[in-house]
Amino acid sequence: MKYSVDKKEQYVIFTPMEEKLDSALSPKLKSELLTVQAEGYNNLVIDMSNVKYADSSGLSALLVGNREFGRNGGIFIIASPQDHVMKLIKLSMLDKVFIIVDTIEEAAEAIFIHEIEGKEQEEEED
C-alpha cells in the first residue's frame, strides 16, 4: 500500500496514495493506522482525496481507526472524500459515526477545537 504520513504537532495527516480501498488493502491500512497511534499520536486526519473507490472492508478499516483514536480521547477525521466513497459512507449510515470534512484545513480546525474542549473538560474535572 502506498501512502504518505505528515506528522504535525497535534495530529497526523495520513494520505493513501491508492485509488481503491478494498479487501486487498484494508488489512494494511488498519495496521498502519494502529502504528501511527502506537507512536503516541491521538489525532488523525485521513486524506481520502486520492481514493476513488472503497468497499465494506475499506470502511471497516476506517471504523477501526475511528474507534482506536477515539478510545483515548483523540479524534479521527475523514477529509476530502470522493463522491463514490461519500455515497457508500452515507448508504452505510456511517456519516453519523465519522467526522467528515471537505478540506485538510477544516480538519485541522476541528482538531484544534477538539483539543481546546478536551482541556476545558479536564479543568472542570479537577
* pLDDT tens digit sequence for 56-105: 999 999 999 999 999 989 999 999 999 999 999 999 999 999 999 999 99
How does pLDDT run across 16-47, given as a tens digit for each residue? Answer: 999 999 999 999 999 999 999 999 999 999 99
CA-nearest of 68, 60, 81 to 15 is 81
Q: Are 79 and 110 in contact (CB under 8 A)?
A: no
Strand ranges, E, within the chain: 3-7, 12-16, 20-21, 43-47, 53-54, 75-79, 99-101
Quick check: 12 pLDDT over 90? yes
Cell numbers given for 91: 448508504
Q: In the prediction, which pLDDT does 91 show?
A: 96
